[in-house]
């Protein structure tokens, strides 16, 4: 008997990052690569939130730097893993780091992925609507052909010893066939 395709447009991505790899990068050349690295992976909203968080937490200086580099490396490794996991979960289009926004909502990591306009031919089946409602990706009743601001995805980030890992569950409907 041939197998049936999975009936919902749900996709999973996972990634793991060695914290010391990020630590080496941001502390290399006396922190010279710190800012370019941050600008590469964070969008302007995330950079602003990160700056505010660093000010609020007032992390104690280490090795003559203005913040706790090890703690920052752990944070950045988790965010790197989360963005890589999101890219793996959304395979129907090319997602870039700046299209992914990770913040905090009710004390938990929260992810939004900017979405392009949906084509007029998107099929909203009852199963797809239920999956969208359940995962928080929309109601399934959005007006087709209109751009949505962002698509929410479920995210979990974990740190253990030398590693940070993240898993993302997202709605990933393939583009309609022409």
Which CATH number do you get for residue 99?
A: 3.90.470.20
**Residue 43 within any structural domain of the chain:** yes
Number of domains in the chain: 1
C-alpha–C-alpha distance, residues 129 and 165, integer Å: 30
Q: Tell me if 106 is assigned to some domain.
A: yes
Percent of residues in the chain assigned helix, strand, coil, to nearest 5: 40, 20, 40
- Domain range for 91 is 10-115+150-171
In the chain, where do the E strands start and end? Answer: 10-18, 100-105, 108-113, 151-160, 163-171
- 5 is a domain residue: no
Which pTM does this prediction carry? 0.72
The Cα 155–Cα 54 span in angstroms is 22
Reading the chain (178 residues) residue by residue, the pLDDT tens digits are 788 887 888 899 999 999 999 988 888 766 666 788 888 889 999 999 888 877 766 555 544 554 577 888 898 999 999 999 999 999 888 889 999 999 888 888 889 988 655 444 444 444 444 444 444 444 433 333 333 567 889 999 999 999 999 999 998 876 666 6
- H or E element that contains 77: helix 69-89
Owner of token pair 């289009």: 93
14 located within any domain: yes
């Amino acid at each position: 008997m041939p197998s049936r395709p999975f009936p919902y447009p749900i996709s999973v991505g996972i990634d793991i990052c060695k914290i010391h790899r990020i630590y080496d990068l941001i502390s290399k050349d006396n922190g010279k690569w710190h800012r370019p690295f941050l600008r590469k992976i964070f969008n302007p909203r995330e950079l602003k939130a990160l700056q505010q968080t660093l000010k609020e937490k007032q992390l104690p200086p280490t090795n003559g730097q203005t913040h706790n580099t090890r703690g920052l490396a752990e944070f950045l490794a988790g965010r790197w893993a989360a963005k890589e996991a999101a890219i793996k979960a959304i395979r129907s289009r090319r997602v870039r780091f700046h299209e992914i926004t990770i913040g905090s909502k009710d004390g938990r990591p929260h992810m939004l992925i900017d979405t392009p306009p949906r084509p007029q031919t998107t099929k909203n089946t009852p199963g797809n609507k239920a999956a969208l409602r359940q995962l928080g990706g929309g109601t399934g009743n959005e007006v087709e052909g209109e751009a949505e601001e962002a698509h929410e995805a479920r995210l979990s980030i974990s740190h253990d010893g030398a590693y940070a890992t993240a898993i993302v569950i997202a709605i990933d409907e393939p583009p309609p066939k022409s």
